Every structure is written in structure tokens, then in C-alpha cells.
């Protein structure tokens, strides 16, 4: 597929918090963001979440994985069909397991099926190539974060923090000529973010999340739990590095004897502590920290970061960006890069030895000319 200028690309994201599917249009040539388009959200039903949750940690070939993939594909097809003007789509799929040093990485969902349903080229399987070449396969949004930094006119180093199910941090030097330039980016997963707190709310209170961080803000964090949490070997690794959603499953056990409010406060404080520990790896202090993902709505997390870090901590909306759709937009941008033969990861983002163009493109039948 030859891309000679900006195209309207559709990106989707179904994150580890298991809330639903985000979709967003971006006008991009894979280098610059030219415009933002329509967005939409399709929540998973509780039954659908249960099917996906049952497949977490499982690998292809498992019956639970096939059922989860069908849920993911149907939900995406339903949502993506609402964007008839999309010329290209980026489909991330649903991460079920991530073990870059062992089994690899596994995102449920077949992009080839979606290409047939939507009748447009679909880029998918973004992580496998990076992992096969020795990278972590995550995080993937940093190249888009670089484009965002340029789009908002940043001139000093800054950082993006995504607080989804897992937290990830991207430090950016926007003065560098491109995202794959040496020293332009450093990115890594900071630690668990919303996933443990969401699980606590679901199990104890039957709710999807701690809205606005109200419960966490009313409790008292237990310092001993936070201290044990920071002793985890992950925090002693030098980035780039990445996590699976359930790598810190023991954290839930450590707050099992606490009241609801203190357990929530402690889990939120662990998220903050992990980010603060991660900020120590930044090559230079960022001028600002822009927060995206659901965690930016959690007052306990945001106040904890703002009270501790020396730079301003703001939701990405303060820079004119959409924190609900940034991850989906990232896969629109990355799809365009893949279609243009551009790299999507590099040593500073995943630890891969050299810049890698991940992802594969599936074309609907009858569009063979686009393969040229």
C-alpha cells in the first residue's frame, strides 16, 4: 500500500482495564498529525468482560482464547463499521498474555477478518515482530506521543503517562528529528495502574471502577504494603521494560485484610509510587507530565503525583489532546507508519536492537492492487 500523503486512518484500542473498545480517526502521514476526526466508544457488557477475563494469561489454542477472540472481533467490527470514511485501520486486539522473555506476546483478534468485514486494509499484530527481534513489544504508543509533542508545539523535554490497566511512561525530546533518533525517546511500563483497583471494586463492591478516585481519596494508604510493593524485582530493572496485566497479582492479596477505603487508597498509592520510581529513569527532568488513560480521573492518583513530582502534572486535555482516545489514535498513526514502511519501535521504547516496523497488513479480497 503506497501512502503519498495524509490519510484518514482509524485506530482502535481495547485495554487491559477491560472496559470496552475505543475508536478514533486521525489524519496522518505517519510523521505528522494533520487533524483529528470522529471518535466512538463501545463498552463491553459484563458477560463479554467475563469471557475475556476468563482468557487472561492464556495462549493461542486454548478454547477460552477462541471465545474471547470472537467477542473482541465482534465488538470491534460493530464499532469500526461506524467509520465509513476510514481509508486504513489499525487494530490492536485484546492483550491476553505478555511474556516477551518467554512465550512472547498474545493479542486476541484476527485483523484479516476485520479487513473483509470493513472492506479496507487493516494493520494488526503490532507487537510480535518486535518481540521476535528481542524487544519487549511494549509500550507501543511512544512514537505517537512524539508526534503529539510536535503537534502541541513542545520545545522542551516532556513526558506522557498513560494510566490504563498498566501504567506506562514516555519521555520525549521533541528537538530530535524523529522518534527513532537516538535519545529522542525513553519508554517503559511503570507498574500496575488501574487494573488492581478496578478488580478490587468489582470483587468487593460490584462496580467497574473507583469513580473519580472517591474511595481511594477517603482512605489511608498502608506504608508497609507500598514498601513491599517497591521491593519487587521489576523496579530494579533498567528500562525499557514491560509488564503483563497480572504480573503484580500478589498486590491484591496484600490489601485483602484492609477496609475498602484503605485498600483502595493503598492501591492508588502503589500506582503513584511506581510512577515516581519510574521518573527517576528520565534522561532529564521533563518540563511537564501529561497524563492520559482512565487514571487521570482518579483524584488520589493525580494528587499523589502532583504533590510529589517537581514538574506540573496535568491531564492531556490541558494540551488540547483527548485522554480518552489517545491510545486509539496511536494505532491509527502506527497503522499509517506500518503501511508506509516506517519503524514503530526502537531501542529507546522497547529495547529492541534497532528500529523495527511491526505489524502486518491484511487486505480485503478484491483490493490486491493495494498490496503493490
**Is a pLDDT exceeding 60 seen at residue 321?**
yes
Q: Average pLDDT over the chain, rounded to whole? A: 95
Domains of the chain by residue range = 7-138+325-371, 153-319
pLDDT digits 0-9 by tens, 172-207: 999 999 999 999 999 999 999 999 999 999 999 999
**Is a pLDDT exceeding 60 seen at residue 370?**
no
Listed ranges 94-108, 244-258, 292-306; the one with the highest mean pLDDT: 292-306
Q: What is the pTM of this model?
A: 0.95
The whole-number average pLDDT for the span 287-297 is 97
The whole-number average pLDDT for the span 214-240 is 97
Residue 199 C-alpha from the chain's centroid: 18
Please state, in angstroms and as integers, the Cα–Cα distance from residue 165 to each residue in 7, 15, 91, 194, following that order: 30, 7, 18, 5
Contact 102, 145 (CB under 8 A): no
Question: Which residue has 493495494 as its cell numbers?
Answer: 370
| pLDDT classification of 366: cutoffs 50, 70, 90 | confident
DSSP string of 90-132, one letter each residue: EEEEEEEEEETTTTEEEEE--HHHHHHHHTS-EEE--SHHHHH
pLDDT at residue number 371: 57
Higher pLDDT, 248 or 72: 72
The whole-number average pLDDT for the span 52-68 is 94
**Which top CATH class is 7-138+325-371?**
alpha beta
**Which top CATH class is 153-319?**
alpha beta
Higher pLDDT, 208 or 31: 31
Report the share of the chain in percent with pLDDT over 70: 98
pLDDT at residue number 367: 73
pLDDT at residue number 16: 78
C-alpha cell at 314: 496535568
Amino acid at each position: 500500500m503506497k501512502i503519498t500523503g495524509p490519510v484518514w486512518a482509524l485506530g482502535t484500542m481495547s485495554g487491559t482495564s477491560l472496559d470496552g473498545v475505543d475508536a478514533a480517526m486521525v489524519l496522518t502521514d505517519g510523521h505528522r498529525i494533520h487533524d483529528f476526526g470522529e471518535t466512538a466508544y463501545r463498552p463491553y457488557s459484563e458477560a463479554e468482560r467475563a469471557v475475556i477475563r476468563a482468557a487472561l494469561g492464556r495462549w493461542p489454542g486454548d478454547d477460552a482464547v477462541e471465545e474471547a477472540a470472537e467477542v473482541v472481533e465482534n465488538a470491534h467490527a460493530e464499532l469500526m463499521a461506524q467509520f465509513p470514511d476510514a481509508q486504513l485501520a489499525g487494530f490492536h486486539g485484546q492483550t491476553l498474555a505478555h511474556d516477551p522473555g518467554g512465550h512472547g506476546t498474545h493479542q486476541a483478534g484476527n485483523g484479516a477478518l476485520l479487513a473483509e468485514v470493513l472492506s479496507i486494509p487493516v494493520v494488526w499484530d503490532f507487537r510480535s515482530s518486535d518481540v521476535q527481534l528481542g524487544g519487549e513489544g511494549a509500550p507501543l504508543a511512544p512514537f505517537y506521543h512524539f508526534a503529539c509533542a510536535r503537534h502541541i508545539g513542545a520545545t522542551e523535554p516532556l513526558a506522557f503517562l498513560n494510566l490504563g490497566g498498566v501504567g506506562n511512561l514516555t519521555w520525549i525530546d521533541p528537538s530530535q528529528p524523529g522518534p527513532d533518533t537516538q535519545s529522542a525517546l525513553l519508554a517503559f511500563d511503570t507498574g500496575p495502574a488501574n487494573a488492581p483497583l478496578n478488580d478490587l471494586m468489582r470483587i468487593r463492591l460490584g462496580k467497574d471502577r473507583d469513580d473519580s478516585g472517591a474511595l481511594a481519596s477517603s482512605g489511608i494508604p498502608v506504608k508497609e504494603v507500598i514498601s513491599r510493593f517497591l521491593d519487587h524485582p521489576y523496579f530494579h530493572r533498567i528500562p525499557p521494560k514491560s509488564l503483563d496485566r497480572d504480573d503484580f497479582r500478589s498486590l491484591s492479596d496484600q490489601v485483602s485484610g484492609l477496609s475498602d477505603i484503605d485498600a483502595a487508597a493503598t492501591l492508588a498509592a502503589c500506582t503513584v509510587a511506581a510512577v515516581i520510581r519510574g521518573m527517576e529513569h528520565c534522561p532529564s527532568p521533563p518540563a511537564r507530565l501529561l497524563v492520559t488513560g482512565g487514571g487521570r480521573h482518579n483524584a488520589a492518583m493525580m494528587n499523589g503525583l502532583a504533590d510529589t513530582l517537581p514538574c506540573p502534572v496535568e491531564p492531556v486535555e490541558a494540551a488540547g489532546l483527548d485522554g480518552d482516545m489517545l491510545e486509539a489514535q496511536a494505532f491509527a498513526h502506527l497503522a499509517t507508519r506500518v503501511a508506509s514502511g516506517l519503524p514503530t519501535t526502537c531501542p529507546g521504547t522497547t529495547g529492541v536492537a534497532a528500529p523495527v516496523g511491526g505489524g502486518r497488513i491484511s487486505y480485503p479480497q478484491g483490493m490486491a492492487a493495494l498490496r503493490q
